């Protein structure tokens, strides 16, 4: 579905009880304000021949009218605007009941059954479908359609007491009209929206864009926006002004919330809601155990050729309860993140809000720039000049922090003793460093080597040639945290690995030592200037796999460093033990269920447009300083342009790869063994 930027801020408008109250007696600590929520929005729907309501936040499902698909098939429920009653179809006639399901009775006998329902194509039997109320509750509209043949549908209206029935529109196919206001009705005929009066006069005709001509219902929203959807099979859900519609999901039988912020719809046998702003979709209910949703007789593949019991001439329908509707009740529960001497992070939540991509794209063809690797030689690659140098049998190279030098150990097999070498990447001059079994850079001017057949080592000063013996194997100077483009330091302190990894992250200003932000999360990474990309601690999603790993979901946000406000991007499946997150000023990137079976796909969130692009690939990816994607585990073997999705370079490695920090140079060679990212 659409992956537009969807900001969720703790203390959403209408949820705060007030500003922080008076200080405590012991010294002025602010009194916490607990947000409250209004009535949960309610949907009414049909499943298995019965009528149910369900809270739009997925908190419960309740039966209003019991039925079955043999003797009492109840369908097409619709609440009155005040919620005091609802209309529905039984036996292809229009019925009505109180809002709690009591006092059900036939309102209007409109069916004309010349033969039993479901007869031959020439069967002229007619039955009611698609009931809806006028906004003032005075009128009920329904569709009278053939139920054993072509499905030709006509629009009828009647008073809410069943009187004054009249046909107002003659249709040509399956349709569900909607009320524009108390006096006008919109009918989607595929290529156009016909606007008619309640008396049946045509008042206008609106052309639909090509991408919306699959539709069978057009529902008006605020600010001249429309919801276009299908009734007989899962199709895209389009929303927006007619000259700029965007897909916000996919499903059947959509219903627009009273304020136009949410769309409820069916996807297979689930009820889902999606934000019309894009970026948010969540499952409300699974109807499988209730007999599933109603399906149109020609729906594929479920209804052809086996003709399942749920299939017939009854279109799936949903209706919102407009009375006491509070959209803020659909906001997720925030994760509390108390400040630690700075701004607290607001807006994080962990409930899954499934997000569909706006676009699926494939990577370009892989170029063959370099020779296949022989499996034993140290190779130095220059991806800028597209040249390679074979340095003979040896180890994987290691680059200096300033990307100007590389060291490696020449030898017959990995980790055996040999001669350590330094190469200047500008002049390609080589310098011998003596015998070693491992070589790496401690900093820009010093190389650490492990002595042959030993776990002790030396640090060599490249400027003076001085050698200093050390206990143990030399290591690079460890950075205390990750430096962001703003010059802040992002620190991580691991808290727990069970059942999911969780860490405490703090963002600090090194010039003052002041903590700017603090939060608990699964992962947090710099996202260009002024922002962090954050993945929440996963929550459980399904039973453990065959190896005992617990799958879950994690939510991805962008956090504004200046305000601490978190903006929701997407929910991703998490499969232990590893899951990648990367970001820069242009993109946020992750791979859905990287260690899952089957693994998911890599997704790019384009920050300038709010769109989510799904790649037809499963990548462990990070971003280079120049904005390219480096893809592949243990160093990465591919450089990809995220704008064009073309490969800039492919390193022909069958194992680990090392890169210079500027990602111009790469090396492959023999290396010691290690485990993988996934079990």
All residues at 6 or more sequence positions from 385 whose CB lies less than 8 Å from its CB, including other chains: none
The answer to whether residues 218 and 184 touch, using CB atoms and an 8 Å cutoff, is no
pLDDT value at position 333?
78
What separation in angstroms does the CA of 531 have from each of 485, 516, 588, 590?
Answer: 9, 12, 11, 17
Q: How far apart are CA 621 and CA 381, in angstroms?
A: 20
pLDDT value at position 28?
35
pLDDT value at position 147?
82
What separation in angstroms does the CA of 86 have from each of 243, 319, 394?
Answer: 35, 10, 78
All residues at 6 or more sequence positions from 568 whose CB lies less than 8 Å from its CB, including other chains: 6, 7, 8, 279, 280, 347, 349, 353, 555, 556, 557
Whether the per-residue pLDDT at 304 is higher than 90: the answer is no
Q: How far apart are CA 356 and CA 363, in angstroms?
A: 19
Token reading at 596: 């899952």
Nearest to 625 by CA among 662, 587, 667: 662
Average pLDDT for 632-647: 96
Mean pLDDT lowest for which of 2-16, 456-470, 597-611?
2-16
Average pLDDT for 116-120: 52
- pLDDT tier for residue 151 given thresholds of 50, 70 and 90: low
pLDDT tens digits, 415-431: 678 999 999 999 999 99
| Highest-pLDDT range among 292-301, 328-337, 446-455 | 446-455
Lookup result for tokens 């006069």: 201
pLDDT value at position 679?
83
CA 423 vs. chain centroid, Å, equals: 46
More confident residue, 236 or 9: 236
Average pLDDT for 539-545: 85
Average pLDDT for 39-57: 92
Whether the per-residue pLDDT at 67 is higher than 60: the answer is yes
Whether the per-residue pLDDT at 39 is higher than 80: the answer is no
pLDDT value at position 337?
66
Phi first, then psi: give them for residue 28, nearest 5 degrees: 95, 15
The whole-chain average pLDDT of the chain stands at: 87
Lookup result for tokens 């030993």: 454
Q: How far apart are the first and last CA of the chain?
A: 31
Mean pLDDT lowest for which of 57-71, 139-153, 456-470, 567-581?
139-153
Q: How far apart are CA 539 and CA 500, in angstroms?
A: 8
Token reading at 302: 């479920």
pLDDT tens digits, 245-261: 988 889 999 999 999 99
Whether the per-residue pLDDT at 214 is higher than 50: the answer is yes
Average pLDDT for 596-609: 93
Mean pLDDT lowest for which of 145-149, 458-462, 464-468?
145-149
Name beta bridge partners: 158: 140
pLDDT tens digits, 438-447: 999 999 999 9
Number of CB atoms found within 10 A of residue 466's CB? 11
All domains in the chain, ordered by first residue = 42-330 (2.120.10.30), 378-470 (2.40.128.660)
Mean pLDDT lowest for which of 41-45, 92-96, 103-107, 545-549?
545-549
Mean pLDDT lowest for which of 346-360, 445-459, 501-515, 560-574?
346-360
More confident residue, 132 or 23: 132
pLDDT value at position 356?
78
All residues at 6 or more sequence positions from 465 whose CB lies less than 8 Å from its CB, including other chains: none
Average pLDDT for 514-539: 95
Whether the per-residue pLDDT at 60 is higher than 80: the answer is yes
pLDDT value at position 298?
74
pLDDT value at position 107?
97
């Amino acid at each position: 579905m659409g992956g537009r930027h969807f900001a969720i801020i703790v203390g959403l408008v209408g949820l705060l009880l007030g500003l922080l109250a008076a200080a405590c007696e012991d010294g002025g600590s602010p009194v916490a304000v607990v947000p409250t929520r209004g009535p949960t929005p309610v949907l009414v729907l049909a499943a298995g021949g019965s009528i149910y309501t369900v809270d739009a936040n997925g908190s419960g499902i309740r039966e209003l009218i019991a039925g079955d698909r043999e003797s009492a098939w109840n369908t097409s429920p619709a609440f009155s605007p005040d919620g005091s009653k609802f209309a529905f179809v039984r036996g292809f006639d229009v019925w009505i009941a109180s809002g709690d399901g009591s006092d059900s009775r036939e309102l209007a006998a409109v069916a004309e059954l010349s033969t039993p329902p479901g007869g031959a194509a020439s069967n002229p039997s007619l039955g009611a479908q698609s009931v809806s109320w006028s906004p003032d509750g005075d009128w009920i509209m329904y569709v009278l359609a053939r139920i054993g043949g072509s499905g030709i549908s006509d629009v009828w209206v009647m008073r809410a007491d069943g009187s004054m029935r009249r046909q107002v529109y003659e249709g040509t196919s399956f349709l569900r009209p909607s009320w524009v206001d108390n006096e006008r009705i919109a009918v989607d005929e595929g290529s156009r929206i016909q606007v008619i009066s309640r008396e049946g006069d045509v008042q206008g005709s609106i052309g639909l864009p090509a991408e919306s001509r699959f539709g069978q219902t057009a529902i008006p929203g605020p600010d001249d926006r429309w919801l276009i959807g299908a009734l007989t099979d899962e199709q895209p859900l389009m929303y927006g002004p007619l000259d700029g519609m965007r897909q916000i999901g996919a499903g059947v039988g959509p219903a627009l919330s009273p304020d136009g912020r949410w769309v409820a719809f069916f996807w297979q046998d689930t009820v889902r809601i999606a934000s019309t702003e894009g970026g948010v979709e969540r499952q409300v209910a699974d109807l499988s155990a209730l007999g599933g949703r109603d399906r149109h007789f020609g729906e594929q593949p479920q209804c052809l050729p086996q003709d399942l019991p749920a299939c017939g001439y009854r279109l799936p329908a949903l209706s919102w309860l407009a009375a006491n509707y509070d959209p803020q009740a659909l906001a997720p529960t925030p994760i509390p993140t108390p400040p630690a001497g700075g701004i607290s992070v607001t807006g994080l939540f962990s409930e899954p809000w499934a997000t569909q991509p706006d676009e699926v794209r494939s990577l370009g063809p892989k170029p063959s720039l370099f020779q296949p690797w022989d499996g034993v030689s140290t190779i130095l690659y220059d991806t800028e000049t597209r040249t390679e140098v074979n340095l003979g049998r040896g180890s994987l190279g290691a680059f200096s922090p300033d990307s100007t030098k590389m060291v490696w150990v020449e030898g017959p097999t990995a980790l055996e003793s040999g001669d350590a070498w330094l190469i200047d990447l500008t002049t390609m001059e080589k310098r011998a460093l003596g015998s070693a079994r491992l070589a790496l850079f401690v900093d820009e001017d010093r190389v650490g080597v492990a002595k042959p057949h030993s776990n002790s080592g030396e640090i060599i000063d490249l400027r003076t040639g001085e050698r200093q013996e050390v206990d143990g194997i030399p290591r690079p100077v460890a950075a205390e945290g990750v430096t962001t483009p703003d010059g802040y330091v992002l620190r991580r302190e691991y808290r727990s690995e069970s059942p999911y990894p969780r860490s405490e992250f703090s963002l600090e200003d090194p010039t003052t030592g002041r903590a700017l932000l603090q939060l608990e999360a699964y992962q947090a990474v710099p996202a260009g200037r002024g922002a962090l990309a954050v993945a929440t601690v996963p929550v459980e999603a399904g039973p453990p796999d065959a190896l005992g790993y617990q799958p879950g979901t994690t939510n991805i946000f962008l956090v504004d460093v200046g305000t601490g406000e978190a903006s929701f991007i997407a929910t991703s499946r998490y499969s232990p033990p590893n899951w990648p997150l990367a970001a820069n000023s242009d993109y946020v990137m992750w791979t859905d269920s990287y260690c899952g079976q089957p693994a998911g796909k890599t997704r790019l969130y384009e920050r300038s447009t709010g769109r989510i692009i799904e790649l037809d690939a499963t990548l462990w990816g990070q971003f280079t300083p120049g904005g390219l994607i480096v893809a592949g585990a243990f160093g990465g073997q591919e450089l990809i342009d995220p704008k064009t999705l073309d490969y800039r370079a492919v390193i022909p490695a069958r194992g680990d790869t090392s890169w210079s920090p500027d990602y111009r140079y790469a090396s492959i060679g023999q290396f010691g063994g290690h485990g993988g990212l996934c079990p």
